[in-house]
Amino acid sequence: MAGLTLASPSAEPQRRGYSPWRETWRRYRRHRPAVVSAVLLLLLIAAVVLGPFAWRVSISDMDVVAGLQGPSLAHPFGTDDLGQDILARMIYGGRISLAVGLAAMLVSVFVGTLIGALAGMSRGALGYALMWLTDLFLSLPQLPLLLMLIYLFRDGLKAVFGPEGGIFILIVLVIGGLRWMPVARLVRAQFLSLREKEFVEAARALGASPVRQVVRHILPNALGPVIIAGTIDVAAAIIAESTLSFLGLGFPPDTPTWGRILYDAKDFLDIGPHWALFPGGAIFIAVVAINFIGDGLRDALDARKVI
Amino acid sequence: MSQYVLRRLMIAIPSLLGISLVLFIVLALAPGDPFGELATNPNVPPEVQAALRAKFGLDDPIYLRYLHWLAAMAQGDWGFSFVSRMNVDTLILQRLPTTLYVIGSAQLLALAIAIPVGVYAATRPYSIFDQIANTFAFIGFSLPTFFTGILFILIFSVKLDWLPFVYSTDIKATGIPWVLEMIRQAIMPVMVLGLFQAASMTRFVRSAMLDVIRLDYVTTARAKGLGQAKVIVKHVMRNAMIPVVTLIALQMPAVFGGAIVTEQIFRIPGIGSLLISSILANDTPVVMAVTFVFACLVVLFNLIADVLYGWLDPRISFR
Amino acid sequence: MFDKDLRTMIDDVKDGRMNRRAFVQRMIAVGLTAPMANQILAIGGVAMAQSPNPYKPTKRGGGGPLKLLWWQGATLLNPHFATGTKDQDGSRIFYEPLASWDADGHLNPILAAEIPSIQNGGLSADAKSVTWKLKPGVKWHDGKPVTADDLVFNWEYATDPATAAVSSGTYADMTVEKVNDLTIRITFKQPTPFWANAFVGAYGCIIPKHLFAEYKGGKSREAPNNLKPVGTGPYKFVEFKPGDLIRGEINPDYHMANRPHFDTIEMKGGGDAVSAARAVIQTGEYDFAWNIQVEDEVLLRLEKGGKGKTLYAVGGDIEFIALNFTDPNTEVDGERSSMKTKHPILSDARVRKALALLVDRESVKKVIYGRAGRTTSNYLNGPEEFVSKNTKWEFSIEKASALLDEAGWKIGGDGIREKDGKKLKLLYQTSINGPRQKTQAIVKQACQKAGIDVELKSVVASVFFSSDVANPDTYAKFYADIEMFQIPMTQPDPALHMRRYHSREVATKDNKWQGRNFPRWVNKDFDAAVDAADTETDPIKRADLYVKSNDLMWQDTVVIPVMHRAAVEACTNSLRPALSGWANQTDNLQDWYREA
């Protein structure tokens, strides 16, 4: 069988630890905080995805008499001022917050890297045009822009993707679409420097196409700041989502998300500290986990470092 | 190089014009109007609101409004606030000193923390110091300023009663007491904002340093017997500075733009709070002026960063 | 009792056969409150007893600084341009009207020598003219005397369309003429039973002719004194930073004895309501904070510290849910919610009644408004003689469900009612504001229990309350099934308040949605009652007409009143502010003092 004979020679170098992906995985496993973080993040995701099956309390059931109670057996995370169960709201909100955070981060990193790389490689009008675009987006006042976007696109997206899906797409695009500029600037700056380095020149001399130069040689060396920016963006996106609902752009006002719960709790900080503690803690854990995963990836991808 | 700078400045003019056009269109298309507050007042008939709109030209076509704005701007007229009925430049100038003082100090604090901590943490990756620095950074950017601001107020103003939390532009003192009071009331906002900025900046500095610190030439420098401090400062930092310079160039215009949330919490009459209240009131001339100055600064600092790249890494060529 | 006996009694008081006190006591005996009795007397043609605010200081000044905290800072200081109450409050420090409303809804003379009445010849029997007399010897802050010319000028200034004054509506449909140096006469085009609008209250503040005469009309924005007020008020202007700070100092020539009490005044703007309450109640950095719309639970907690307290001023502000009588989802001739359509669900009175049964006002009061709210079934909540006793609210999911069953809406498989294959689903919109979102959540939960699926929508206030024609999210367009907001009552008279629901006020594309009847409700009886009340000079008949129109709205469930709201202020323990639910907070600033 042709397939088998082809497969077996490639198995040979793998055993010698030659495949870069294997190597990366091996290095990643060595980074203990990153491994712990990956497990933690998976647990967090499992908790918010599977949580509703284990904790069957409604997110909207109110009991105004039992408002602002601290953690108890009936309400492990306590209740908010309307007497709603914070644990149920955290589980429900976690799905949205994590999904928005990760998706928006991917959008901003992808757009930022693409534009930054193109601007960094181009030596002509394209570079200027892209930097102009970046400057434009940096100077746009976000609030009126958001209001305009809602007004132009909300109903259209709702019609196509349904109310929940439409809003999710809008939020991810808005947050991602307004946060890619620092990534683009960073990537471009790295590219300007890297494209003149000897190893890139060597690749060019060997006849590597510009795409190959970028993907194989420059980009992996420019990833450091990108990963940092990406991991910070997750936190920023989770919090940005909560401010969007105050503009009427986000999910309906009764939909809990971590950022939103934290915002609602801020005025009750001295009365019911538990209310702020749980969403704040959850955001913190998610952020720490994602950042350590980023650190681990960064170290694992850096071939110079010997672990 | 000077030719390059000159050319970039020439390009800046049409690109700023383009930016101003887009800004204007966004502001004009965004819903809302400056006289919304009148709407629920039964004493003010709706015709009054409509007459005001017409009087201020809000019902004119967008291109006409833009051309008016552009023509006035070209003559140095920044426009006239619908809400305050005074000149926009007076409004902005009134707020500039406070913004520069508070937001500027916060940025300086952020840099003063981020660069040494980031550099030191990178020289000892995964040491205790690095771990602690990282943890603080994570706390820093996972807690939004609206939250830390209130936390600070509860601790330092309400519980301990050490610091005032309403920023006053009008301190009744002169000389040393005035200076002390100015410092005292700026402590909390500067800390809240500075620490938030420092958190992410530390991470960037650390990462940029780590990228460079393992390169061969650093090992060579060490092998030549150069001292650790000299290696770090002369060889590593200069090469690691490219992302850091980019970030600082991104942050500097923000000093002018202000920090909306922090200004709101501590009642700092800065440009950020002017901007947000003008946006909410749809006071287009003010929003336009603030964002346009901001855009000019963004373009300018982008250029400065590019020039600095050339100095940091002479191989970078600009044509 | 009423009509005939009351009329005889009023006549008795007029002729001196019965004294005021006896009249008021009789009225209290039949269940009315003192202010209401006074009001009845006033409109019945008896000079109103002044109820001056208690004022203890025996000399001018000496009270130290007064520090006020407004979480929205004043952006301009010309009362004729004041867009929001923040601007009115700021300019009121320096400018004064002829009279302002006190806590009981009575007129309190400020620049006027006395309140016009039929007795003193100030009011005409046909309600077509008012004569005001100025207090003699009042001087502007620059020393020039205040005269009738200034009053006439203010009317000219405000009504000149080129001035673009916000107060133009206050001075419309009347002419103002000078009788002598200290007297003016206002002549109305129509009989106007409520005559105390021009020159009274926030928009009645008077600016000096000698400084603004050159800047009437198109040049109004160039007046240097727009930013440097020269008025007659208790404090003289020192400094103004728009949106941030106003400072003033005592006016040593103030026209009222022993007033003002404070040596300097400072009004700081910006921030949010909760931290404003903290700065007054918890830390005492400031003396007084304005409009503390904060959950009662938070306020109660803050008050435990003991440095300050909250104060409540009751007026007629009503928070309510309006129901759409037209179809928001069908577009006819370029507009949704068109008068040519009928709401597919809400045009059935039983569904509207069911919705009214699903608003749990008690919970809303308990968790959100607390001391700042009163549950009510009326749209019109004051002054008392206009308040209907014929309505009663109820919260009952069972009764609502029964009504919905009766209307043919049957519970479907998913717990949501349906009829003819259509789901019972409503869009509920409001502006973005903490208490409103919580109210939405409470109403939504009750609706869900009754099988109604409610989708919540909240819009930024500046967009929701805007009047730009292209904007689909305004409360006037009402592209939703139900919407909630608050209508303040800025004067103790229901005329403006009730006129909104006249059928000629329906908001449509033709009037660019400037009509104020958002439910698009049409009822001939209501129209007739409101029209009659507009020119009815008999106070008792007039009050009856307004009670009737309120009841008509109730019977038809045009709106669901949620909360009769009071203004909430925070104040340090020693400060004695003079507040009124019928006026802005600074309208009686001259009477404020600090207890030693």
Q: What residue ranges in C293-349 does DSSP mark as E strands?
A: 308-323
Look at residue B319 and tell me if it is in a domain.
no
Residue of C nearest to B39 (CA): C465
**B81 and B118 share a domain?**
no
What's the pLDDT score for residue C199? 93
Q: What is the mean pLDDT of residues A115-138?
A: 87
pLDDT tens, position by position, B256-285:
777 888 888 888 898 888 888 888 788 888
Decide if pLDDT at C343 tops 90. Answer: yes
Quote the CA–CA distance of C36 and C29 in Å, as a whole number: 13
Q: Which residue has the higher pLDDT, A82 or A307?
A: A82
The token pair that represents C144 in the structure block: 């020039």
Question: Are C297 and A271 within 8 A, CB to CB?
Answer: yes
Decide if pLDDT at C17 tops 50. Answer: yes
Residue of C nearest to B262 (CA): C271
Q: Which of A185, A227, A232 sits opposite B246 (nearest CB)?
A: A185
pLDDT tens, position by position, C80-100:
988 778 889 999 999 999 999
**B198 and B254 share a domain?**
yes
Decide if pLDDT at C527 tops 80. Answer: yes
Decide if pLDDT at C27 tops 80. Answer: no
Q: For the sheet containing C417-419, what is the strand order?
A: C410-411, C417-419, C422-423
Smallest CA–CA distance, residue A153 to chain B, in Å, is 12
pLDDT band at residue B190 under the 50/70/90 scheme? very high
Give the torsion sign (CA, C192, C194, C196, C199): negative
Decide if pLDDT at C376 tops 70. Answer: yes
Decide if pLDDT at A306 tops 50. Answer: no
What's the pLDDT score for residue C522? 94
CB atoms within 10 A of CB A148: 17
Among candidates B297, B96, B122, which has minimal Cα distance to B205? B122
Q: Specify the CATH number for the domain of residue A119.
A: 1.10.3720.10
A72 touches chain C (CB under 8 A): no
**B102 and B63 share a domain?**
no
Question: Are B26 and A144 within 8 A, CB to CB?
Answer: yes
**B130 and B277 share a domain?**
yes
Question: Are C512 and B164 within 8 A, CB to CB?
Answer: no
Residue count of chain A, please give it.
307
Chain C residues within an 8 Å CB radius of B269: 73, 241, 243-245, 270
**B57 and B81 share a domain?**
yes
The token pair that represents C69 in the structure block: 């905290």
**What are the Cα distances from residue C442, in Å, to A54, A127, A254, C253, C560?**
26, 54, 10, 54, 14
What's the pLDDT score for residue C11? 63
Smallest CA–CA distance, residue A65 to chain C, in Å, is 9
Task: Report percent pLDDT > 70 for chain B.
Answer: 96
pLDDT band at residue C12 under the 50/70/90 scheme? low
Question: What subunits make at least 3 CB pairs under 8 angstroms with B?
Answer: A, C
pLDDT tens, position by position, B227-240:
777 777 777 877 78
Q: Which of B207, B253, B275 sits opposite A225 (nearest CB)?
A: B207
CB atoms within 10 A of CB A220: 15
Per DSSP, the residues of chain B read -HHHHHHHHHHHHHHHHHHHHHHHHHHHHS---TTGGGTT-TTS-HHHHHHHHHHTTTTS-HHHHHHHHHHHHHTT---B-TTT-SBHHHHHHHHHHHHHHHHHHHHHHHHHHHHHHHHHHHHSTTSHHHHHHHHHHHHHHHS-HHHHHHHHIIIIIIIS--S--S--S--S--HHHHHHHHHHHHHHHHHHHHHHHHHHHHHHHHHHHHHHHTSHHHHHHHHTT--HHHIIIIIIIHHHHHHHHHHHHHHHHHHHH--HHHHHHHT--SHHHHHHHHHHTT-HHHHHHHHHHHHHHHHHHHHHHHHHHHHH-TT----
Report the DSSP pairing between strands C65-70 and C264-269.
parallel
pLDDT band at residue A292 under the 50/70/90 scheme? confident
Quote the CA–CA distance of C394 and B7 in Å, as a whole number: 75
- 10 Å CB burial of residue A106 (0-12, 13-18, 19+) is middle
The token pair that represents C532 in the structure block: 């009659």
Among candidates B114, B268, B302, which has minimal Cα distance to B197? B114
CA–chain centroid gap for C25, Å, is: 29
Residue A52 DSSP SS3:
helix
pLDDT band at residue C248 under the 50/70/90 scheme? very high
Question: Are C456 and A252 within 8 A, CB to CB?
Answer: yes
What's the maximum distance between 2 C-alpha atoms anywhere in chain A?
A: 76
Q: Residues C65-267+568-594: name the CATH superfamily.
A: Periplasmic binding protein-like II (3.40.190.10)
pLDDT tens, position by position, B22-39:
888 888 877 777 776 666
Q: Which of A123, A144, A182 sits opposite B30 (nearest CB)?
A: A144
Of B35, B63, B88, the one marking the end of a domain is B88
A152 touches chain C (CB under 8 A): no
Chain B residues within an 8 Å CB radius of A141: 23, 26-27, 275, 279, 287, 290-291
Locate tokens 């006849």: which residue? Answer: A207
Smallest CA–CA distance, residue C271 to chain A, in Å, is 13
Quote the CA–CA distance of C246 and C235 in Å, as a whole number: 11
Question: Are C221 and B85 within 8 A, CB to CB?
Answer: yes
Least confident of A100-109, B273-282, C543-552: B273-282
Look at residue B25 and tell me if it is in a domain.
yes
Interface size A-C, in CB pairs within 8 Å, comes to 65
Write out the CATH class of domain C318-492.
alpha beta
Of B88, B111, B137, the one marking the end of a domain is B88
**B81 and B138 share a domain?**
no
Residue-range definition of the domain harbouring residue A111: 31-55+84-301
Residue-range definition of the domain harbouring residue B8: 2-88
Task: Report percent pLDDT > 90 for chain A.
Answer: 7
Look at residue A189 and tell me if it is in a domain.
yes
Question: Are C442 and A82 within 8 A, CB to CB?
Answer: yes
- 10 Å CB burial of residue B249 (0-12, 13-18, 19+) is buried
- 10 Å CB burial of residue C489 (0-12, 13-18, 19+) is buried
The token pair that represents C261 in the structure block: 């009490």
Q: What is the mean pLDDT of chain B?
A: 83
Among candidates B186, B199, B195, which has minimal Cα distance to B99? B186
A125 touches chain B (CB under 8 A): no
Q: Specify the CATH number for the domain of residue B206.
A: 1.10.3720.10
Choose from A190-204, C356-370, C458-472 the range with maximum mean pLDDT.
C356-370
Question: Are A291 and B309 within 8 A, CB to CB?
Answer: no
Residue of A nearest to B139 (CA): A284
Interface of B with C in 207-236 (CB under 8 A): none
Decide if pLDDT at C428 tops 70. Answer: yes
pLDDT band at residue A2 under the 50/70/90 scheme? very low
Number of domains comprising chain B: 2
Chain B residues within an 8 Å CB radius of A298: 207, 210
Number of domains comprising chain A: 1
- Helix runs in chain A, H state only: 2-15, 20-30, 32-54, 86-121, 125-139, 142-177, 181-194, 198-205, 210-212, 219-245, 258-265, 273-301
Q: What is the mean pLDDT of residues B60-66?
A: 82
Least confident of A243-247, A262-266, C434-438: A243-247
Q: Which of B39, B81, B266 sits opposite C467 (nearest CB)?
A: B39
Q: Which of B19, B200, B317 sits opposite A139 (nearest CB)?
A: B19
What's the pLDDT score for residue C8? 64
What's the pLDDT score for residue C40? 54
What's the pLDDT score for residue A8? 40
pLDDT band at residue C145 under the 50/70/90 scheme? very high
Q: Which of B22, B151, B208 sits opposite A136 (nearest CB)?
A: B22
Task: Report percent pLDDT > 70 for chain A.
Answer: 89
Pick among B27, B40, B153 to test the C interface (most C CBs inside 10 A): B40
Chain A residues within an 8 Å CB radius of C366: 64
Decide if pLDDT at C75 tops 60. Answer: yes
Look at residue A1 and tell me if it is in a domain.
no
What's the pLDDT score for residue B42? 65
**B58 and B142 share a domain?**
no
Residue of C nearest to A263 (CA): C434
Chain C residues within an 8 Å CB radius of A64: 363, 366-367
Chain C residues within an 8 Å CB radius of A149: none
Least confident of B271-275, C244-248, C352-356: B271-275
pLDDT tens, position by position, C476-518:
999 999 999 998 888 888 988 898 899 988 998 888 888 889 9
Pick among B4, B23, B142 to test the A interface (most A CBs inside 10 A): B142
Residue A60 DSSP SS3:
coil
Quote the CA–CA distance of C232 and C255 in Å, as a whole number: 8
Smallest CA–CA distance, residue A175 to chain C, in Å, is 18
pLDDT tens, position by position, A14-50:
445 456 677 778 878 888 888 888 899 999 899 888 8
**What are the Cα distances from residue A101, in Å, to A159, B41, B288, C173, C180?**
24, 41, 31, 58, 73
Chain B residues within an 8 Å CB radius of A131: 302
Quote the CA–CA distance of B45 and C167 in Å, as a whole number: 9
Of B36, B62, B88, the one marking the end of a domain is B88
Least confident of C40-54, C455-469, C470-484: C40-54
Decide if pLDDT at C78 tops 80. Answer: yes
pLDDT tens, position by position, B74-96:
887 888 888 887 888 888 888 88
Look at residue B131 and tell me if it is in a domain.
yes
CB atoms within 10 A of CB C33: 15
Among candidates C494, C501, C507, which has minimal Cα distance to C522? C501
Chain A residues within an 8 Å CB radius of B302: 131, 134-135, 185
pLDDT tens, position by position, C389-401:
999 999 999 999 9
Question: Are A283 and B203 within 8 A, CB to CB?
Answer: no
pLDDT band at residue A223 under the 50/70/90 scheme? confident
A35 touches chain B (CB under 8 A): no
Among candidates A100, A51, A65, A50, which has minimal Cα distance to A250? A100
Residue of B nearest to A234 (CA): B142
B256 touches chain C (CB under 8 A): no
| All structural domains of chain C with their residue ranges | 3-43, 65-267+568-594, 318-492
Residue of B nearest to A240 (CA): B144
Give the torsion sign (CA, A160, A165, A168, A169): negative
What's the pLDDT score for residue C1? 41
pLDDT tens, position by position, B131-174:
889 888 888 888 888 888 888 988 898 888 888 888 887 777 78
Using an 8 Å Cβ cutoff, are C117 and C123 in contact?
yes
What's the pLDDT score for residue C20? 60
What's the pLDDT score for residue A18? 59
Chain A residues within an 8 Å CB radius of C429: none
Smallest CA–CA distance, residue C238 to chain B, in Å, is 12
Decide if pLDDT at A3 tops 50. Answer: no
B41 touches chain C (CB under 8 A): yes
What's the pLDDT score for residue A213? 81
pLDDT band at residue C19 under the 50/70/90 scheme? low
**B33 and B125 share a domain?**
no
Pick among A63, A64, A269 to test the C interface (most C CBs inside 10 A): A64
Q: What is the mean pLDDT of residues C452-466?
A: 86
What's the pLDDT score for residue B211? 79
pLDDT band at residue B176 under the 50/70/90 scheme? confident
Q: Residue C9 — φ and ψ, nearest 5°?
A: -65, -45
Question: Are B166 and C271 within 8 A, CB to CB?
Answer: yes
Q: Which of A64, A163, A267 sits opposite C298 (nearest CB)?
A: A267
What's the pLDDT score for residue C146? 95
Quote the CA–CA distance of A58 and A89 in Å, as a whole number: 8
pLDDT band at residue C30 under the 50/70/90 scheme? low
Using an 8 Å Cβ cutoff, are C315 and C582 in contact?
yes
Chain C residues within an 8 Å CB radius of A252: 455-458
